[in-house]
Each structure stands twice: as C-alpha cells, then as structure tokens.
Structure 1
Amino acid sequence: MNQLSDEASLYDRDYHLWVLATVKHLETGDFEALDLENLIAEILGLAAMDKRELRNLLRLSFEHLLMWQYWEAETERNRGYWLGEIANFLMEIRGILMDSPSLKNYLSEIFDDCYEDALKIVVAKTQLPLDTFPEKAIANLDEVLDENWFPPVSK
C-alpha cells in the first residue's frame, strides 16, 4: 500500500518517471504496484484526445470548404492552399478512423456543431455577411470525408 501511495505521488511530482514506472510494473506483472486511479484517467484521456482531434479536424475542413466555395475575392490566390489543407485534414481524419473506426459515429454526432463553429470562424476571417453562407452544412458527412468531393465555387 505504501508503494502505491509513492507511485501516486510520483504521478504528481514527475509524470515522465511515473509513465516509466507504470510501464515497468506492467511489463513485470507487478499489478499490485500500479497506480490504477491515474492509469485509468490517462487511458480515458487518450480516448478524449482522439475525439478532440476529430472535432478540430472536421471544423477546419468545414472552414476551408466554406472559404473555397464562398470567399470569391481570395479564391484564385488561396485555392491551392485550401486544397492542400483540406487534403491534410482528411488524411488525418482517415488515419484516426483507421485506428478507431467506432469514432465515425462520433463524427456524425458533432457534425452540425462543427459546421456552426466553422461558420462563425469563416464569417470572422472573411468579413462576409453571415447570410452569404448556408445555415445548414454544405454537404453530408460522407461528402465532406470524400477526398474527391468539393463544393462548387459560388458565383
């Protein structure tokens, strides 16, 4: 029990050393010495990190798709940049989904919120009126995740 409290305090004092000690306990099968409370919190934190990353990547994808479609004054100058960014975001999303396919359901859950957040950011970046952009998402999730789909440029 004393070793467990020592490990818990190690977590607070030196995270890196706590990780190394935890790995050693796992490798040697010394499960009694594990700081389970912090280990469980760290594992749950890993899952939350993927969700935050997916939320960020989907929002960024929407931002760039909206600028691509509606920011006419910048289209010619930024088209290549926007295309590159969209491709990068989609590769990152696909990579996360390859490792954790069940998170595609999470993308469906946050889809509308990500669009609304992106819309606010794009209005601020472009200084275009809010009514320039559609109130609802410009595409469905499958289209947004399709590397070959792009919305038509607004005229």
Structure 2
Amino acid sequence: MKITTNLNQLYENDENLWLEETIKLLKQKQFNQLDLENLIEELISLGKRDLAKAKGLLRQIIIHILLLQYWQVEYQRNHRHWIGEIKTFRYDLDNHLTTNLTKKIQDDLENIYQSAVDFVKIKTDLTIFPEKCPYTLVELLDNNYLP
C-alpha cells in the first residue's frame, strides 16, 4: 500500500519517473503495487490521443485530396505540393494505424470528411463538394490513389 501511495505522489510530481517506476513494476509482475487509478487514466488518455492523431492525419489527407480535385484556380501552382502532402500524411497514418484505430476511423469517416470539407470551404470559398464522403477508407489510405 505504501508503494502505491508513493507512486501516486510521484505521479503528481514527476510523471516521467512515475512511468519508469510503473514499467518496472509491470515487468516484475508486481501488479499489487501499481498505482491503478493513474495508470488507468494514462491508458485512457493514450487511447484518446492515438485516435485523435489518426483522425487528424486522415482529415489532412481528405483536405488535400479535396484541394487537388476541386480547387482548379490553384491547381497548376499547388498540385505537386498537395500530392506531396497526401503522400506524407498517408505515410504517417500508415505508421500509426492499428486494426482497432482503423475500425474507429472507418466508423467516423463521415464526420472526419465533414470537418475536412468545412476547412476547405473556408480556404477556397468553394461550395461544390459532395454532401457525403465520396472516398472509401481503402482509397484514402492507398498510396497510389488520387482522384
């Protein structure tokens, strides 16, 4: 009990040291000494952070695909940049995705698409975008797919 209390205090004062100590306890299978309350909080936070990052990267892919496909006034000057951004965001997302995250962003694809459209409307002053996401997740993640 005393170690858990000390870990709890350590969490408040030095989160990195708390993490190191927690990892040691886990490796030593000293589960009864863990600061479970803060460990659970950190795991929940980690899951939310990973999902937010995946959604953000997918939103960026959609934004740049929309710019590439619809913003004809800027196409000639910016299309190579947009394609480069799409490739970079795909690479980053591919390195970040897990099976669980893939399912979650698939389930939220329409909302992610809508937030991308909102951004592109402001940036371009265009209003010609499809109401529903015209791309599948497979297309959005495919390094060779461009509209």
TM > 0.5 fold call: yes
**Structure 2 counterpart of 1:11:** 11
Deviations 1:62-114 (A, max 9, x none): 100000011111111111111111011111222223xx223221121110001
Shift of 1:54: 1.1
Q: Mean alpha-carbon deviation: is it higher for 22-31 or for 137-146?
A: 22-31
Match for residue 102 of structure 1? 100
Deviation at 1:45, TM superposition (A): 2.2
1: CA distance, partners of 2:138 / 2:55 = 16
Q: Which amino acid aligns with 2:33?
A: A
Question: What SS does structure 2 have at the residue aligned with 1:16?
Answer: helix
Q: Secondary structure at the match of 1:49?
A: helix
TM-score between both structures, scaled by the size of structure 1: 0.86
Q: Residues 20-65 of structure 1, C-alpha deviation per residue, up to 9 Å, x if partnerless?
A: 2212222333333211111122123222222111110111111000
Hey, what's the Cα distance between the residues in 1 that align with 2:103 and 2:23?
32
Aligned to 2:90, the other structure's residue is in SS state helix
Residue 67 of structure 1 corresponds to which residue in structure 2?
A: 67
Q: Distance in 2 between matches of 1:110 and 1:28?
A: 39
Unmatched 5+ stretches in structure 1: none
Deviation at 1:150, TM superposition (A): 1.1
Gaps of 5+ in 2: none
Matching residue of 1:142:
138
Count of residues paired in the alignment: 147
Output the CA distance in 2 between the equivalents of 1:29 and 1:11. 20
Alignment correspondent of 1:81: 81
Deviations 1:95-136 (A, max 9, x none): 223xx22322112111000110000000111122x2x21111
SS class of match (2:108)? helix
| Pairing of 1:26-65 with structure 2 (within 5 A) | 26-65=26-65
1:91 corresponds to: 91
2:119 alignment partner AA: I
Which shows bigger deviation, 6-15 or 61-70?
A: 6-15
